[in-house]
């Protein structure tokens, strides 16, 4: 019997104390499409996302991530992960079909850092209504309908006050993520790691923040644009809407072209992301960055403020 496998990053469920401001930001400025609104929760996706949603927004007393969700390769993998996780001592809670709009039965559990993960397979893939539908049959919505208009959901970056190496080991041994790049201090302490289950350099990153108030913090969520010119266009759109940002710049780790912006409603940081490289090698050796090289890995070129201001957690995850 084959081991269960995660296929891809699915969505992030975000709680915000100012739902109208967050909805304006993600819908009108970032340019996500609203799939539907059910019982006060707004479900959104980018114009190239196929699943029911890659982001949900729900009103709450504070800004935080309710869960980060991953889709498996096969329906039976959800049960498979439940069994493996429980055997390893992780408490698993089942989410029945219909409890989360657009999604089938799922499991939820916490990493050792207390970040909440969800694993599912069954999901709706609704077509866009005729007014918003692309003439391209392999694309969900018309591109450039509004705002910065990213193509798809790309990755998440979580922060923790715990030992990063422990979290990376858990993601690898329990969930099958592969380490692609990492930063090591003093030749022994891993302070950041980038992992994936796809050819992307990272579907998830984990970074150390020893002074964080809780071990489960969010650094950012990320949406993908086709090219660097799209990021420059996004910078103009953000500025026209009175929103400040950091970048554009280029990371050494992942080689991505980026800018960072904060949702004014929830406090969630969003990275608009392009470039990077893909990994197809089955024997890939993780790339190590030393403490001396970390500044290159973080900001190869671009805004130096990145290291001081944007390298902090934003909200609880």
pLDDT of residue 263: 98
Domain of residue 24, CATH code: 3.10.180.10
Same domain, 108 and 156: no
In a domain, 63, yes or no: yes
**Which residues of 17-63 form beta strands (DSSP E)?**
33-38, 41-45, 55-59
pLDDT of residue 304: 59
Length of the chain: 317
pLDDT of residue 88: 94
Tens digits of per-residue pLDDT, 242-286? Answer: 999 999 999 999 999 999 999 999 999 999 999 999 999 999 999
- Do the beta carbons of residue 86 and residue 136 sit within 8 Å? no
- Do the beta carbons of residue 33 and residue 50 sit within 8 Å? no
pLDDT of residue 268: 97
Question: Nearest CA to 265 among 54, 45, 33, 62?
Answer: 62
Same domain, 62 and 181: no
pLDDT of residue 56: 98
Same domain, 222 and 110: no
pLDDT of residue 287: 96
**pLDDT in 10s for each residue of the chain, 317 residues:** 689 999 999 999 999 999 999 999 999 999 999 999 999 999 999 999 999 999 999 999 999 999 999 999 999 999 999 999 999 999 999 999 989 999 999 999 999 999 999 999 999 999 999 999 999 999 999 999 999 999 999 999 999 999 999 999 999 999 999 999 999 998 779 999 999 999 999 999 999 998 888 999 999 999 999 999 999 999 999 999 999 999 999 999 999 999 999 999 999 999 999 999 999 999 999 999 998 887 887 888 887 555 555 567 788 98
pLDDT of residue 291: 86
Which domain, by its residues, includes 61? 6-120
In a domain, 139, yes or no: no
**Residue 245 and residue 241: Cα distance in Å, rounded?**
11
In a domain, 26, yes or no: yes
The SS3 call for residue 103 is strand
Same domain, 104 and 195: no
Same domain, 171 and 312: yes
Residue 23, C-beta contacts closer than 8 angstroms, at least 6 positions apart? 42, 57, 265
**Residue 221 and residue 207: Cα distance in Å, rounded?**
13
Same domain, 93 and 198: no
pLDDT of residue 313: 79
Same domain, 191 and 67: no
pLDDT of residue 300: 85
In a domain, 1, yes or no: no
Q: Sign (positive/negative) of CA torsion 29, 268, 218, 313?
A: positive
Same domain, 187 and 311: yes
In a domain, 126, yes or no: no
In a domain, 184, yes or no: yes
Same domain, 226 and 267: yes
Same domain, 88 and 178: no
In a domain, 132, yes or no: no
Q: How many domains in the chain?
A: 2
**Domain C-terminal end among 120, 140, 167:** 120
In a domain, 271, yes or no: yes
Same domain, 114 and 204: no
Same domain, 103 and 156: no
């Amino acid at each position: 019997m084959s081991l269960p496998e995660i296929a891809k990053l699915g969505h992030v469920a975000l709680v915000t104390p100012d739902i109208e401001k967050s909805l304006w930001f993600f819908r009108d400025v970032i340019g996500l499409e609203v799939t539907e609104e059910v019982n006060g929760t707004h479900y959104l996706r980018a114009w190239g996302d196929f699943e029911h949603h890659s982001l949900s927004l729900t009103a709450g007393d504070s800004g935080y991530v309710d869960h980060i969700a991953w889709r498996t390769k096969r329906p039976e993998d959800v049960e498979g992960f439940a069994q493996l996780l429980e055997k390893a001592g992780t408490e698993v809670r089942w989410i029945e079909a219909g409890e989360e709009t657009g999604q089938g039965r799922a499991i939820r559990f916490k990493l050792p850092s207390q970040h909440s993960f969800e694993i599912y397979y069954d999901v709706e893939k609704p077509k866009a209504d005729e007014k918003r539908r692309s003439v391209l049959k392999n694309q969900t919505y018309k591109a450039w309908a509004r705002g910065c208009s990213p193509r798809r959901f790309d990755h998440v970056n979580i922060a923790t006050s715990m030992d990063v190496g422990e979290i990376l080991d858990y993601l690898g041994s329990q969930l099958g993520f592969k380490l692609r790049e990492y930063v090591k201090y003093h030749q022994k302490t891993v302070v950041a790691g980038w992992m994936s289950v796809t050819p992307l350099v990272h579907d998830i990153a984990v970074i150390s923040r020893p002074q964080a108030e809780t071990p489960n913090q969010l650094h950012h969520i990320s949406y993908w644009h086709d090219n660097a010119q799209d990021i420059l266009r996004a910078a103009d759109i953000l500025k026209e809407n009175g929103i400040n940002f950091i970048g554009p710049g280029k990371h050494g780790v992942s080689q991505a072209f980026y800018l960072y912006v904060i949702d004014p409603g929830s406090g969630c940081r969003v990275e608009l992301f392009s470039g990077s490289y893909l990994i197809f090698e089955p024997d890939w050796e993780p790339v190590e960055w030393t403490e001396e090289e970390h500044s290159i890995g973080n900001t190869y070129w671009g805004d130096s403020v990145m290291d001081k201001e944007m390298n902090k957690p934003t909200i609880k995850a």
